Structure 1
């Protein structure tokens, strides 16, 4: 009797297929049917920057090639009923109707033509109803990124879901400066989504290594001030006039972290709201800046963590 029951349990467990879920960045959603990861960006931007953000995340603008893609998009977008009716997607090379009314120039009573200036392009959007249409590329819209699971980048050496990290052996950390300009909160989230964190300097040797990485990096044209890079420091807003205390993202004071040298005349708290930290590309030292303004940023991942 025991043998018979044991046999039934084995058959039952083998009859149930395993539901395998794969892992990528913590801000991407896995769809088992398409074997791909998706991320909906609700912040609006033009099509060119949307494409650049997806690429920086190891993905591309989603090209809706199947019903599964449309269903996945709908499941994500219906959570935001107040957003625009259109979302940037990738170019499927097919002809689509325009989502915008075209300007009409009348030459005579017999003839009309639709006019579009040569510098204006149309790019693909998907509507809430799942229709693919055309929209002027310079408009600002939300967008959706996609990467197939077998193409999702993972850096085994550094242990991050991303690419372009540089390992510095005498420090034991990997570093990357993404080609994006973000606010402090956005930069913090972006590094974490890859399995890394905003850079924190723990020694003069690390300062020297990060300074060299900054100096060889091309400046970001869309950064508020391209000579500064967001780092993992922040001060609580003072409400009683007491001095600000900058701490790292690990809740250490700067002195406890191991490197506490500020750039000349810093921290100066210009405007009374520079409560986030950055590194100055000129000397690699600390600077205070406004948290909401967009700068380049540096992600760090300790190799053995």
Structure 2
């Protein structure tokens, strides 16, 4: 009971403060927003998408303050050596560089590195920034660390699910928050989306939870076969026929292993990812096909109580 009261107080407190966003982002007064360095290198498209899924944007050196904060964020990390992808690109029109939030490159307080830009092989439409604040054009399919940025606004208010994402709804019966994604993605992208939002692909732990998710599906797409298959948080992990949740439990250990009659059937060329029919029975499905999916998170998954001791 004490933990629940603490979470409730924390959420109310932050509605007033509006400075808490998520534990993995740091509020920086100089840019009036939140910053996060992703140290695992990614392609530009992957970096842009990850920032977007986290509710932020791929950071660009739009202002002097952002340039300095980006340089400071890189300090004493791998990014200080390699540089970072910025959100500045010319993917829509060769040579027309703009940030993902629409600022043209020639309005940014940055300088090119010597001999840059060179548009090597006519295939460099993304921009990296190095530790001294200079920039170079680069192939967007190369991999670099990157920084996500979210500017503060009056709309940044934590919900009862401990997130600014109003798509998550708290269920009092399970104590978890759920979000139904109508946008279809393959299983890997669905996993990435849930992780970026501070949750995970939903795992059914009881018949009660199965019925809850069934009702959630019915509310989203009543009577529509379009959403009959929903990605869930289980997989065979390469051990064909051994179904395990993404948290390492067997379905039996997790508390729910009710497959649809005739399933799993590993239809050609092989179905190795987990899903649920809207009837709440389980099914194996092709990992590379795109389906809707449900994310699940705890109330506290994005909160950082250490900042408020």
Give TM class, smaller chain. 0.5 to 0.7
Q: Is the 8 A contact 2:56 2:149 kept in 1?
A: yes
Residue in structure 1 matched with residue 259 of structure 2 by the alignment: 262
How far, CA to CA, are the matches of 1:45 and 1:278 in structure 2? 30
Which structure 2 residues correspond to residues 269-280 of structure 1 after superposition, within 5 A?
269-270=266-267, 274-280=271-277
SS at match of 2:133: coil
Does residue 300 (structure 1) correspond to residue 288 (structure 2)? The answer is no
1:200 maps onto 2:195 in alignment: no
- Cα distance change on mapping 1:147 and 1:166 into 2, 3 Å: same
Distance 1:168 1:277 in 2: 23
Deviation at 1:77, TM superposition (A): 7.0
Shift, 1:176, TM fit: 1.5
Match of 2:241 among 244, 256, 272: 244
Structure 1 residue matching 2:244: 3-state secondary structure:
strand
2:234 corresponds to which residue?
A: 233
Quick check: which one's helix share is greater? 2
The whole-number CA distance in structure 2 between the counterparts of 1:255 and 1:37 is: 41
1:42 corresponds in structure 2 to 41
Find the partner of 2:103 among 75, 88, 92: 92
Shift of 1:50: 5.3
Q: How does 1:105-144 map to 2 (within 5 A)?
A: 125-128=127-130, 130-132=133-135, 139-140=140-141, 143-144=146-147
Larger of the two Rg values belongs to structure: 1
Asked whether the equivalents of residues 30 and 38 of structure 1 are also in contact (C-alpha less than 8 Å), the reply is no
Alpha-carbon distance between aligned partners in 1 of 2:202 and 2:282, rounded to the nearest angstrom: 12
Three-state SS of the structure 1 residue aligned to 2:106 is coil
Distance 1:231 1:94, change over 3 A: same
* Number of corresponding residues: 251
**Aligned to 1:176, which of 161, 176, 179?**
179
Structure 2: runs of 5+ lacking an equivalent: 1-18, 89-98, 302-309
Corresponding position of 2:162:
159
Contact 1:62–1:146 (CA under 8 A) maintained in structure 2: yes
1:8-47 alignment, distance < 5 Å? 24-25=21-22, 27-28=24-25, 34=31, 36-40=34-38, 42-46=41-45
1:210 to 1:285, Cα distance in 2 relative to 1, 3 A: farther
CA distance in 2, matches of 1:188, 1:58: 16
* Contact 1:59-1:152 within 8 A present in 2 as well: no
Map Cα deviations across residues 178-203 of structure 1 (whole Å, 9 max, x no partner).
Answer: 5573654x654653554433212332
Deviations 1:218-265 (A, max 9, x none): 99xxxxx98744322233543xxxx73323345554345454332454
Q: What secondary structure, in the 3-state scheme, does the structure 2 residue paired with 1:162 have?
A: coil
Structure 1 unaligned spans of 5+: 1-21, 104-115, 220-224
Cα distance in 2 for residues equivalent to 1:88 and 1:267: 43
Q: Is the 8 A contact 1:58 1:152 kept in 2?
A: no
TM-score by length of 2: 0.57
Give yes or no for the alignment of 1:70 onto 2:79: no
**Once the 2 structures are TM-superposed, how far is the Cα of residue 38 of structure 1 from its aligned partner?**
1.9
TM-score by length of 1: 0.58
